[in-house]
Amino acid sequence: MGTISSNTKAEPEVVFGKMTPDKAYSSVPRKIFILRPDHLGDLILFSGALRHIRNQWPEAHITLCVRSYGMKLFAHCPYIDRLQPYEPLIPLGKINWPLCFPGRWTRALFRVMAPAWSYDLAILPLFAPWVNHHRILQWLPVRERIGIRGNTENQTAEDELRYRGSYSRQMDSSKLSWSSPELETNRLFLEFLGIRIIRDELWPEFWTQPYDRETALNLLGTPQGIFRLGIAPGAVSPPGKRLPAKWYLETLHQAGIEGVQIVLFGGKNDDEICAEIESGLKHSGNEYNVVNLAGKTSVLQLVECIRACDIFLCPDAAPLHIATALRKPVVGMVGGGHFGRFYPWGDPKLSRVINKTMECYGCNWECKYESMRCVQEISPADAARELRSLFQKSAGQITTNSK
């Protein structure tokens, strides 16, 4: 492992969980850049923070940089002024900007050539950032950069130390465990920015439009009085988090649930598994009203479709967070890669978690087995039991067969 350049800027002072008065801003930031280039579920968990950032700096022009799916999620968010796609910035994250030049000449050049790219404050509120995230902020002409240090899940310890010099201030997360809830980390980071709130005030928000609600109801195609069970079997990353179609069919068989509409959700990559579940249900001998919406909804239409469901069944993926945020009764199948960090959260009376506890929990999805046993060995019987329990709380709306 190489050594750290002696020209790296001195490590800034770091305070755990709060910003000291002597580190307050010299002036109110006029332009703020927030970098959140992570998965859709992470963005959902972060969405509740935007209102508080806006309240802290009501006159600032706020740019939120997210991936393309995040652009759709935040398209109508009233707390930001501009959405910046992350994908065009990816090449900049691959450049190892010379450590001996902290970007002074680069920032001066871009301030002259592209004033829109100059910011007073850039924020990277990621508990486990990647090196390319640091490099993008290093390139961006900014007066102050604020981030989080102390985690080396997605970067080497050397890189974590090296890029500290790119920040004006960083919250020290080294005291947080690998399973520290994401909402709590967000709360601590906002406190570090001088925004003091309780965790419940970070409940995720969605900004759907009447068109999204109308489209959702048209896609569901049935009267609102019918009882709906939503199932989203897809899991983008890692692939081992995806349970097979036969697992869902066995769960529904053991749950003995009849007389409901089953709605299948997913992206275009989930066409095959949703079609397999749909076919299995239609040939099961039970009278299921099945609607397959895989690849047919936008992110905001998905939100409204889930809102129209009565119960939800899903692995640890974005639809699970949507259902939880909408306070829907939900059964979530959660593996051990980050157990406790992203899920479970929400109301434990409504959010039921199915998992297989193993000694290797906290592996950051670097599985030592041929298959992800903590996911693939989750019992359909356990999920069926929780589904029956949630359905029984909706007395008179459905019928169940005891197993």
CA distances from 84 to 90, 121, 357 (A): 12, 15, 40
pLDDT of residue 103: 52
What count of residues does the chain have? 403
The domains of the chain, with CATH numbers, are 21-202 (3.40.50.2000), 223-400 (3.40.50.2000)
Burial (CB < 10 A; 0-12, 13-18, 19+), residue 196, is exposed
Beta partners for 330?
A: 312, 351
89-143 pLDDT, tens per residue? 988 888 776 544 455 555 555 444 444 558 999 999 999 999 999 999 988 888 9
pLDDT of residue 27: 67
d(CA 193, CA 187): 10
pLDDT at 8 over 60: no
Portion of the chain with pLDDT greater than 70, in percent = 85
Portion of the chain with pLDDT greater than 90, in percent = 69
How open is the CA angle 314-64-165, to the nearest 5 degrees? 105
Average pLDDT over residues 381-399: 79
Q: Could you please report the per-residue DSSP string of 261-295?
A: EEEE---GGGHHHHHHHHHHHHTSSS--EEEE-TT
Which H helix or E strand runs over 107? helix 104-113
Residue whose structure tokens are 């790219």? 117
pTM metric for this prediction: 0.87
pLDDT of residue 284: 80
Find how far residue 40's CA is from the centre of its chain. Answer: 5
Average pLDDT over residues 49-64: 97
pLDDT band at 393 (very low <50, low <70, confident <90, very high): confident
CA distances from 71 to 38, 241, 261 (A): 12, 25, 31
